[in-house]
Amino acid sequence: MNGVVIIDKPAGMTSHDVVSQVKKILGAKKAGHTGTLDPMATGVLPVCLNEATKLARFLSDDNKEYLATMLLGVQTDTLDTEGEITGRSDKVVSVEEIKAALSRMVGIIKQVPPAYSAVKYCGEPLYKLARRGIVVETAPREVEIQYIIVEDITYPRVTFRVACSKGTYIRTLCADVGDLLGCGACLCSLRRLRSGFFSVDMAIPLENSFPREKKEELLGKMLPLGNLLPLLTAIEIEDGFAARLRDGFQPSVEAIKSHVPPFLEMGDMIKFVSRSGCLVAIAEMVTPVSNFSEIDERCQAARIVRVFNNVQN
């Protein structure tokens, strides 16, 4: 049982709660999620099982898409409606002003992580410090907003779709837009529509079924390791080569020159797969293929960063 199941996280559960429930239903030894969702949020939460937990950091780096609703005129300590109200405003802003403020957020921007977030300070999550009344000033971080599309404005609520990079806080986005408008704002609902190539139409709800039925559904829709990371160049290898990689072999130019395409450059990530489609390893190119003919074939061509056990995906 090695793969990823896409869960449609319900509101009110933490991401950790979802992982624990999936792990219990399937009887998995190891499980973890990629891209934490706050308890109030719903939508796409990929859960990695057993060998797939080794892929978590690669899957977490993907861009995300959300459907968010912002409440104008209200500010809270958590930047969403779950927190304590810290400010109110009766100022009314126009539709044009709202759209203009949102458009200013598109591109590479800087965000200060919320006080109530999982970002760590001296090894401790900020939200734990905040609960003890300790507010830490953290440095702004660069994130990228690819687009914002306004879906509905029914004052004082504004619903919009947003595509963004890893590490973007939609709560902070709403608060920053509220500051631009001069009325304040907070997040009042959030649904993740996409995480990388995982979309909401692939997601499985956890409610309304018996454990046995849910286990069958989760297993039936589990994505095998070989189907993950579709954007990485796949290098098909023989079983003997796969065994060498699992034993710690770092691929040389001689070993992979007949397998790799000519366009690979230094720093490109690749995946080695068996002829049966099982994921064997993930590697980073340390020598561009264009240089293969100019160097000693015993030189290292790629650095293995993850190896997967010889099990069925």
Residue 312 in any domain: the answer is: no
Identify the residue whose tokens are 């810290």. Answer: 86
Convert the pLDDT of each residue in 205-262 to its tens digit: 987 666 778 888 999 999 988 888 888 899 898 989 999 999 999 999 998 888 888 8
125 and 19, same structural domain? no
Tell me whether residue 61 is one of the annotated catalytic residues. Answer: no
pTM: 0.86
Residue 121: beta bridge partners?
A: 124
Range of 48-52, 99-103, 213-217, 268-272 with top mean pLDDT: 99-103
The CATH number that applies at residue 58 is: 3.30.2350.10
| Catalytic one of 38, 62, 80, 176 | 38
Residue 125 in any domain: the answer is: yes
Task: Catalogue the E-assigned strands of the chain.
Answer: 3-9, 31-33, 42-49, 64-72, 74-76, 85-88, 107-111, 120-121, 124-125, 141-154, 157-164, 185-195, 198-199, 204-205, 223-224, 233-237, 269-274, 279-285, 302-307
Residue 313 in any domain: the answer is: no
pLDDT band per the 50, 70, 90 thresholds, residue 118: low
Q: What is the pLDDT of residue 139?
A: 78
Convert the pLDDT of each residue in 140-154 to its tens digit: 889 999 999 999 999
Convert the pLDDT of each residue in 28-69 to its tens digit: 999 999 888 999 999 999 999 999 999 888 887 789 999 999
158 and 75, same structural domain? yes
Pairing state between β 42-49 and 64-72? unpaired
**Cα 100 from chain centroid (whole Å):** 28
Range of the domain at 269: 232-307
